Amino acid sequence: MAQVAGILQRTDRTTRAGRTRRTGPRRLVRRAAESGQATAEYALVLLGVALIAVLVLDWARNTNMISRLLDAVFRSISKLIT
């Protein structure tokens, strides 16, 4: 039990500026939690981007914008060729 208490004991280090910086297992646990939070934030951002892409594609299909765009591109290419 004394070994576990020694491992979980908070250790501090003093930086050159005189500030105390935490080290040890508590800092590692906090870093792991922050890493998980960042992963969740990335997942939410990706879901938001996917939703916007689906909405834009649906709008483009309903308004025939894709066919208009492709027609304009093919017309301009055919003018350049001939």
CB proximity list for 59: less than 8 A, separation 6 or greater? 65
The stretch 35-54 carries a mean pLDDT of: 90
Phi/psi for 14 (5° steps) reads -100, 130
**Alpha carbon distance 74, 80 (integer Å):** 10
Q: Going along 1-82, which residue ranges are E strands? A: 11-14, 20-23
Check residues 63 and 38 and name the one with the higher pLDDT: 63
Q: pTM to 2 decimals?
A: 0.44
Question: Amino acid identity, residue 17?
Answer: A
Question: Is the predicted pLDDT of residue 74 greater than 90, yes or no?
Answer: yes
Instruction: Give 5-16 pLDDT, tens digit per residue.
Output: 545 555 556 666
